[in-house]
Structure 1
């Protein structure tokens, strides 16, 4: 559960830190993602917490998925790309909206959003990075996560070919 102090701390308004870049996908920091009022106003139905330490929002009506990684270049975020991307797409297909967040909304959450765009929107890494960066200028995936995204970019066309042949 998200503590009240996390929802209200700092001078910034929470909604300014939750940025939408597709019809059904937002990126955020933990403080904004824990604002039940903001989640309800934006009709968010799935919260993806890309951290080991950040809380989930209190709203019981919101589905939750945790990807337990630290913002460390040696963490294996690649192993979670498909699960997170598929959860976002499934939520969008049923008319829901997702928010992906980590502590600051800069590295881990951005990496997951980029992987989603690469897999389900068939964007290149460069294109996906630009889409997310346009919505939230401060994103900055760490070098290890960028390397994993490069590997994912190479794997995504292979996945597409496999799916077409099934």
Structure 2
């Protein structure tokens, strides 16, 4: 039986925003995000890519198409469960509800996770605080749509998310035929939506510091959603934001080469970021692809902020080139263990 672990909202946010060449959400065995709330709540709004777990005789039913053994992340959420040993609270049934299932205010995610843990070798995560907590922090990741898997081929269309889309499409086609409407254009947009999904910057310090790419640094919607107020640009490219404002833009003009001197900029960068954090001004640190120069500067800042060594600050994620990861010479000036 796999372990049950709590998943912080920041962890799920970062899982949703991983990319290589394309968003990793399009990979069939990357993430199963399961919503165990009522059908009414799910239809009103859910987290992007989430599938609703159904019940039969008040027991959760795992779709045969769901390959739990191979999935990397399996995350379950309900309304607001925030602990593994939560006290189960049964929700009173609405008089006008057509749903006969027993619904829990808290604890249903744990019940479902225990069942899923029997079929997977990886940990099953329960979203800490559930939908209520996640949507409060990341309201822009709420949706009523069911995302498709555009990179699946025909031999893989039995996978659960594609199957879910198929059933949803059938229902909408039936409703549209009764209403005499044409949904072909709408569905073309829906089918391509996940493939066109643009990952947001990675959240390094919740609500304070983000790590991203030049493309993300030029995106006005991401700036608005994350409330970004300052940039640390570790590269030669420019963006439309904060030009000429040295209080909100720190430009470190270096190329992506191991021969470049990033060490001399660590102290100034850390103090610049400290000043904005103290003012509750959200910062985006970025370079061309967000995987070398900006990541190195971010590691230096975390060492400075947490008073930790490189080894303790370096957690799995986008990594700098090996040449940048030489011993503790990369420790910012004045840093002590």
Mapping 1:4-153, distance limit 5 Å: 13-14=197-198, 16-23=199-206, 24-52=208-236, 54-58=237-241, 63-130=248-315, 133=316, 137=317, 139-147=318-326, 150-153=328-331
Partner secondary structure for residue 255 of structure 2: coil
SS at match of 1:45: strand
* Structure 1 residue 69 displacement after superposition: 0.6
* Alignment deviations for residues 85-109 of structure 1 (CA, whole Å, 9 cap, x no partner): 1111110001111010000000001
Q: Which protein has the larger Cα radius of gyration, Structure 1 or Structure 2?
A: 2
Aligned twin of 1:5: none
8 Å CA contact retained: 2:269, 2:301:
yes
**Offset of residue 12 of structure 1:** 5.2
Specify whether residues 88 and 12 from structure 1 end up closer, same or farther in structure 2 by C-alpha distance, changes over 3 A only.
farther
How many pairs align? 140
- Please identify runs of 4+ aligned residues in structure 1 that moved more than 4 A: 59-62
Could you list the per-position Cα deviations for residues 99-154 of structure 1 after superposition, in whole angstroms to 9, with x for gaps in the alignment?
10000000001001100010121122122110xx3xxx3x221233212x620338
- Residue pair 1:71, 1:142 contacting (<8 A) in 2 also: no
Which runs of 5 or more residues in structure 1 are unaligned?
1-9, 161-166
TM-score, scaled relative to structure 2: 0.38
Distance, in Å, in 1 between the alignment partners of 2:265 and 2:323 is 14
Give structure 2 stretches of 5+ with no counterpart.
Answer: 1-21, 23-194
